[in-house]
Amino acid sequence: MNLPVLVGDRIKALRKAKGWTQEQLAEFASLHYSYIGGVERGDRNIPLETLEKIIAAFQVPPMELFRIELQADELSQARRAAIDEHLTMISNRTLKEIETLNKINKDILAAIDLK
């Protein structure tokens, strides 16, 4: 296991789920875009302070950065990408908006389950 590569891959997946370029992530995290490239490739051994900046930019819980699936098949990877996209879509919403979205999702899932 190569943790810098795995974390770099995870950062790249979250960045793509947001629809951001490396430059955009770098701007939101107050880092240089070439530094983000090195992090995503696993070339850099980044300090916790930098991880904190990246997590803050994504506006996700810290554990999301380490939600790494080893040896995931294509279906698992696609499922994780869809969940990441959903998480990043709602991450900067207010609590009231998230509660509303949760209710809507529950209603939709209940309707699907009745089929």
Quote the CA–CA distance of 20 and 12 in Å, as a whole number: 9
Tally the residues of the chain. Answer: 115
Q: What is the mean pLDDT of residues 98-106?
A: 94
What CATH number should be reported for the domain holding residue 102?
1.10.260.40
Q: What is the pLDDT of residues 59-90, one digit of tens each?
A: 988 998 888 877 778 888 888 888 888 888 88
The domain tally of the chain equals 1
Residues 6+ apart with CB under 8 A from 110: none
Q: What is the pLDDT of residue 70?
A: 73
Say how many C-beta atoms besides its own lie within 10 A of residue 106's C-beta.
Answer: 10
- Domain span at 105: 3-114
* Tokens 């916790």 belong to residue: 48
Q: What is the pLDDT of residue 42?
A: 92
